[in-house]
Structure 1
Amino acid sequence: MRSVHVTGKRLGLREVSAVDVDALHAVYGDPAATQHLPFDPRTRAEVVDIVDEAVAAAQADPRRLYVLAVTETEGHVIGVARLHIEADHPHSAEIGLGLRPDLWGRGIGTDLFRLVLTFGFKELGLHRLWGARSPANTAAQLAMLVAGMVEEGRIRHHVSTPDGWRDSIVHSALSDEWPADRAL
């Protein structure tokens, strides 16, 4: 297993571990943080299962799932980043992010998208990274666009949520369009 430790100007990414459960529950368990996600807030026990799955996935060869703790410069966990490499298209991966709501509106989401994109392109050698967002999540739209992703279009009735079917808006970035000297 190659352990992930990525450092940017304001944020870092590292492997999740059992000590992160409470910090990750602050994201996964928060109704505001999960309002645009296809599930209700998670219980602490469900977050333990997510961390256990992430630790097991880190041992896989080839590794297809990266669930990473998002840290601020002091090392405190403030969110989660997920990168899932597609089995049928191993040069493409879906990304997803979550941050504590008390940190929203500070440009951290944009920085996090840039950090995850740089990790995927430079460290993993991927060609295409993409993410889907709720049409109502305009903050994610802005963060993705400012980070350098392109809006590709709408997938109708893409996600079954507790409130019914929801469309998704897909954004992507390509390695040959990503600046090689982009700073983290």
Structure 2
Amino acid sequence: MRCVQVTGAQLGLREVTPADVAALHAIYGDPAATEHLPFNPRTPDEVSSMIDEARKEADAEPRRLYLLAATEPHDDRVIGVARLHIEADHPHSAEIGLGLRPDLWGRGLGTDLVRLILGFGFRQLRLHRIWGARSPANVPAQLAMLVAGMVEEGRVRHHVLTPTGYRDSIVHSAISDEWLGEQGQR
């Protein structure tokens, strides 16, 4: 398995492991953390299956899926998750998804997490475009993506089927040369 290790100002990213089930369940199993996601809270077994699948995908050639644990840099405690999925038909483009434990919201960690996954995608994977879609009601995700340097592109109507019905998505993206140039100015 190839090993991803990224360090940011407040967080680190590393490959998920079977030992992360409880920590990731604190996100994927929490109703507040999954409120804007297209699925109901996950069970520990479902989280374990996600990790198993991600670990299998880590050995794929070419690798298209990265499920990474977001950790506190000083103690490797898992406090979030970042997912990057490279599109099969457009291998220069990838979709991201992010999650943090609800008790840590409001501290700027979401912005750091977005920056970390963008930096990983652009610098290490040499992607050209990275995008993410959010629920229109998820204002904290909007702010994290905008502050991290992503651009709001627009609304995709009835894009996602959720347990409560169809909902729109707001798409944000970053382009490598624009984002990397912006980061050099910070």
TM score, norm. by length of structure 1: 0.97
Alignment-derived partner of residue 64 in structure 1: 64
After superposing on structure 2, the runs of 4+ consecutive aligned residues of structure 1 that deviate more than 4 Å are: none
Alignment-derived partner of residue 162 in structure 2: 161
Query: CA-atom RMSD, angstroms?
Result: 1.3
Alignment-derived partner of residue 173 in structure 1: 174
2:48 is aligned with 1:35: no
TM score, norm. by length of structure 2: 0.96
- For residues 102 and 152 of structure 2, what CA distance do their matches in structure 1 show? 24
Residues 181 and 162 of structure 1, relative CA distance in 2, 3 Å threshold = closer
CA contact (8 A) 2:149 2:182 kept: no
State the AA in 2 paired with 1:77: V
1:176 Cα deviation after fit: 1.1
Alignment-derived partner of residue 79 in structure 1: 80
Alignment-derived partner of residue 150 in structure 2: 149
1:133 Cα deviation after fit: 0.0
Alignment-derived partner of residue 51 in structure 2: 51
Superposition pairs of residues 100-179 of structure 1, within 5 angstroms: 100-179=101-180
1:180 Cα deviation after fit: 5.0
State the AA in 2 paired with 1:15: E
| Pairs aligned (count) | 184
1:148 Cα deviation after fit: 0.3
1:182 Cα deviation after fit: 3.3
Alignment-derived partner of residue 7 in structure 2: 7
Encode CA deviations 1:26-83: one digit per residue, 9 max, x unaligned: 0000000000000000000100100000100101000000000000122100011000
- For residues 171 and 97 of structure 2, what CA distance do their matches in structure 1 show? 11
- For residues 182 and 175 of structure 2, what CA distance do their matches in structure 1 show? 15
1:178 Cα deviation after fit: 1.5
1:179 Cα deviation after fit: 2.5
- For residues 52 and 180 of structure 1, what CA distance do their matches in structure 2 show? 37
- For residues 118 and 26 of structure 2, what CA distance do their matches in structure 1 show? 24
Unaligned runs of 5+ in 1: none
- For residues 51 and 83 of structure 1, what CA distance do their matches in structure 2 show? 14
1:2 Cα deviation after fit: 2.5
